[in-house]
Amino acid sequence: MKNLPTLILASGSPRRAELLRRLALPFEARPADINEESLRHLEPSQMAQELAVQKAQAVWQPGQWVLAADTVVALEGQTLGKPHNPQENRRFLEQLSGRRHTVYTGFAILKPDGAVHREVALAQVTFRPLQAWELEWYVQSGEGLDKAGGYGAQGLGMVLLERIEGDFYTVMGLPVSRVWQRLYELGYFGLEPHRPDPKEL
């Protein structure tokens, strides 16, 4: 595939940027500045989706393809955002220790004409029971301070996890397979989406 349009990534996340690089998609990171606190009243899945849409709309310009995503971690319906300090990071990890929680990653794609596709993916993550020294070790690393739920599954946080049910990349912050499929269906690759022959159904 040659001469693909530049995809505007409405995110400052180095993890999402790395995933797009792995796909060899041309992109430009353009972080969106929106008030995330104003959406805290929404259910976690709705919050993830709406944040993604608002981020995409904040940076979109006519004629551009824009991709935005947002990840929300929820434990029994309670949203765990990015911890504000090490003390809150420790509290989040203590809550997650030995329990299963849900990770929602919403994403939005804005087409050059402004049409928007929105979707949310989820995965279930189980932490193994953590010892006090492990909690302290991870908190002191500082890795969890810029991540929803206070941990990074792709980094040092990998040792905290017992099981992931669903797409790992949803936990990492971008459900890559679904994003790729939606880009194809929306015409980003310049290919006509396959339509099954009625006889095949």
In single-letter form, the type of residue at position 124 comes to: Q
Ramachandran area for residue 97 (φ above 0: left; ψ -120 to 50: alpha; else beta)? beta
71 and 55 in contact (C-beta within 8 Å)? Answer: no
Residue among 33, 70, 146, 167 flagged as catalytic: 70
User: How remote is the C-alpha of 198 from its chain's centroid?
Assistant: 36
Q: Note whether 53 and 17 are within 8 A (CB).
A: no
What tokens appear for 140 in the block? 């002191």
Query: What H or E segment, with its residue span, contains residue 15?
Result: helix 14-22
d(C-alpha 140, C-alpha 104), whole Å: 26
Distances (CA, A) of 44 to 26, 77, 169: 31, 7, 18
Cα 124 to Cα 30, 34, 86, 160, distances in angstroms: 30, 27, 25, 14
**Residue 70 annotated as catalytic:** yes
**Catalytically annotated residues:** 70
